[in-house]
Structure 1
Amino acid sequence: MTKRRLSERQLERIRAIQERRRSRVETRPDTIPADTELIGEPETGRVMVRYGANLAVEDMAGQLVHCLVRRNIGQPVCGDCVVWQRIADAQGVVTALLPRSTVLSRPDFNNQPKALAVNLSQLIVLIAPEPEPSSYLIDQYLVAAELIGVEAILVGNKMDLLNPPARAAFERRFAHYSAIGYRTFWTTLHDLSTLAALIAALANHTSVLVGQSGVGKSSLVKILLPDLAIQIGQLSTATGLGRHTTSATTCYRLPDNGRLIDSPGVRSFRLGAISRDELQQGFREFQPYLGRCRFADCHHDHEPDCAIRDAVTAGVIAPERLTNFQHLRTAHLPRSHSDATQ
């Protein structure tokens, strides 16, 4: 019997149910007895993975410690720097969150921003010839990177699937990203020399890897982290989560003082509601032309004397970037800032 395909509405409902279940797990009260004795002085550390009230915190010596979370300190997520204190049985209690430098978030089932990972410095967008790349999704990732203030890098993976003419055409298709300053790498996992520049770019950074399902993210992670199984085992031991560790957003140690955050949540990433000015700021090549349109509230759609559309006509801005801007404007801006005024 042929499988019945779920509609987008049904898939969204399923995702909302799953999100509610995750939220219930993450907000359940801690199980720390009130008379728990704290040992030694408070320490700082980094959250490497969280599942519910269980965290694996890396201490200043690089050791992983199973920690629980005090109530009313907020919701720690992967990458958070925290204050914690040791208790019996080689465990700890997180007592405070330290300020975050950057936050990557997406809307939850109530359309409120929910942090996925924090304290990032790079966002690595992975694409491949198969599945068909979505420039709309790519531009959502790039807008998010611009707004939170991290560098974005585009990586074309599985390039061995293409013959030379097809590869050249594929690279030309995305050449406008490197033209506006996004570093772009072309890789194949069957030739590790093609990964050298990417590996160098990950050094001394905390990076999150994002992209559609099927682009080779898991395979790339295994190559970037030759000790992945060991790290997963250490995290599982530290949290007692077992198999759940790999279903949660997790921070792994890379060589050369780098860290890689892998999150299942970024596969279905979407922006939340943002203002028109924020969306414009997310398209870096728009910057020289903002404020030069005839109308201050120009939507860069059909208005006369639009500097952005003139730049597209002149070949300075890629047409597909303006098309994606318009789609994002319609989908994510409050109604009063979108087509309601047109």
Structure 2
Amino acid sequence: MSKKKPLSHGQLRRMRTNQKKKLQSHDAGETTDLQDSMLGPEQQGTIISRFGQHADVETDSGHLARCNIRRNIKSLVTGDNVIVRLALTSESGASRIEGIVEAVHPRHSQLSRPDLYDGVKIIAANIDQILIVTSVKPAFTTQIIDRYLVAAEDTGIEPVIILNKVDLITPEEAPEIDAALERYKSIGYRVYRVSSKTGEGVEQLHALMNDKVNVFVGQSGVGKSSMINAMMPDAELITGDISENSGLGQHTTTTAKLLHISTGGDLIDSPGVREFALWHLPADRVGWCFVEFRDYLGTCKFRDCKHLNDPGCSITEAFNAGEITEDRYNNYHRIIASLDEQRHARHFRAGPDE
């Protein structure tokens, strides 16, 4: 039997559009439009989660309500601070909609995820710090950490590196991992060691996240959901085991949701990302996102310096002088080399009808 031909991007897009229309039609059949006369005064609230044309909103008084979204609101994501009006009475037939999101306050930060098909998508807002989770399984790699650090530096949100599953580190692995973490500390990043299994470092994480809006990012399988469960046993998140055959983790989280931490602070549990694509960033922006490069940027002999074999390159001179570590220098060039590949892949997958 011959294999089915893969769907083109245009076909996938039309299929998604039809599915979206069906969902909207289904939602419309279950709910009743709320008129202004049915709504109470304006209240302040926070988006706990977004579901298509609806959002779960928590008001400042602590009431959680599923609300419709005004059509003039172009962007609404988990973490947004909003103005909402709730229904004066819940006796509106079988409707479960309790109010309407009227407006969105300006964001002080936002986390975006580049997507090969849909461009740059905002996935969460008003975040205070990004917790970059890595672990020894599926594999510890500074290349992935540096990709996340670039993405975090580009947003202006402070990143913190979390090494999970420290209970699995072998004596043979320890020196290399310790040295890598010390390199990050030396350029100003905070590093925490945690085991969601043994509880090691969990108290320190509670203190780190107190009074802040936090988000975990990291490859699938590094234990983000398990870590959240260790910190918040009532979160009831689904966790996935690492495949013993492939060593790869399973994607376990589907919708971004804001969770309250009992010891203080909030956590936005966002959809897992296997690899944070950076194709939307120009090369000079990537260089700026390597914090130890900043003192040397703009001082190279040539304006279009690639920071590799170019004569008079300040970055290369700093590397040769030991001011920039080999690991970070090489990871920078790996990221730069991958940019054109990712852009080409996006153009190829988008198809001629884009």
Correspondence 1:56 to 2:63 = no
Deviations along 1:275-302, one digit per CA (max 9) or x if unpaired, are 2332122111101111221112211011
Whole-Å Cα distance in 2 between the matches of residues 21 and 133 of structure 1?
39
The structure that is helix-richer by fraction is 1
The CA deviation string for residues 117-168 of structure 1, in whole angstroms up to 9 with x for no partner, is 1111111111111111343322221112112111111111111112345323
- The residue that corresponds to 1:141 in the other structure is 148
1:188-337 aligned within 5 A: 188-229=195-236, 247-332=254-339
Letter matched to residue 73 of structure 2:
I
Query: Which one is further off, 35-44 or 140-149?
Result: 35-44
Q: Residue 113 of structure 1: CA displacement?
A: 1.2
Bigger mean CA deviation after superposition, 124-133 or 83-92: 83-92
Match of 1:6 in 2: none
* 1:166-225, Cα deviation, whole Å (9 max, x unpaired): 323322133211111110111222432422222211111111101111111111010111
163 and 140 in structure 1: CA distance in 2 versus 1, 3 angstrom threshold: closer
Letter in 2 for 1:95: E
* Whole-angstrom distance in 1 between the partners of 2:15 and 2:156: 27
Are the equivalent residues in 1 in contact too, given 2:129–2:213 (CA < 8 A)?
yes
Confirm or deny: 8 A CA contact 1:57 1:67 kept in the other structure: yes
Residues 127 and 155, structure 1, Cα contact 8 Å, conserved in 2: yes
> 323-332 vs 19-28, which deviates more?
19-28
1:186 matches 2:193 = yes
RMSD: 3.3
Q: Which residue of 2 aligns with 1:176?
A: 183
> Are the structure 2 counterparts of residues 229 and 53 from structure 1 closer, same or farther at C-alpha, using a change threshold of 3 Å?
same
CA contact (8 A) 2:138 2:221 kept: yes
CA, structure 1 residues 73+199, in 2 after alignment: closer, same or farther (shift >3 Å)?
Answer: same
Instruction: Give per-residue Cα distances to partners, 1:30-69, cap 9 Å, x unaligned.
Output: 8463745342211111101111112111100222111111
**Is 1:113 paired with 2:120?**
yes
Distance apart, 1:109 and its partner CA:
4.3
The answer for the alignment partner of 1:46 in structure 2 is 46
Q: Residue type matched to 1:75 in 2?
A: S
Mapped to 2, the partners of 1:25 and 1:197 lie a distance apart of: 46
Q: Structure 1: how far apart are the matches of 2:187 and 2:23?
A: 42
- Distance 1:296-1:334 versus aligned 2 partners, 3 A rule: farther
Partner of 2:20: 24
What's the % identity of the aligned pairs? 33
Amino acid at match of 2:43: E
Selected match of 2:103 from 96, 101, 107:
96
Looking at structure 2, the residues matched to 142 and 162 of structure 1 have their Cα atoms a distance apart, in angstroms, of: 23
Hey, what's the Cα distance between the residues in 2 that align with 1:61 and 1:318?
50
Amino acid at match of 2:84: W
Structure 1: 5+ residue runs without aligned partners? 1-9, 231-244, 337-342
Per-residue deviation, 1:334: 11
Find the counterpart in structure 2 of residue 339 from structure 1: none
- Partner residue, 2:77: 77
Counterpart secondary structure, 2:121: strand
Cα contact 2:288–2:297 (8 A) shared by 1: no
Between 115-124 and 103-112, report the one with greater CA deviation. Answer: 103-112
C-alpha separation in 1, matches of 2:138 and 2:80? 33
Measured in 2, the distance between the counterparts of 1:127 and 1:271 equals 18
* Consecutive unaligned residues in structure 2, runs of 5 or more: 1-5, 91-96, 238-251, 344-354
| Residue matched to 1:340 | none
Shift of 1:11: 12
Q: Which residue of structure 1 aligns with residue 130 of structure 2? A: 123
Kindly tell me: are residues 146 and 246 of structure 1, through their superposed partners in 2, closer, same or farther at Cα, counting changes over 3 Å? closer
1:326 is displaced (CA, Å) by 2.1
SS in 1 for 2:57: strand
Q: Which moved more, 1:120-129 or 1:181-190?
A: 181-190
State TM-score, norm by structure 2. Answer: 0.78
Partner Cα distance (1:54, 1:117) in 2: 16
CA contact (8 A) 1:68 1:93 kept: yes
Contact 2:164 2:194 (C-alpha < 8 Å) held by counterparts: yes
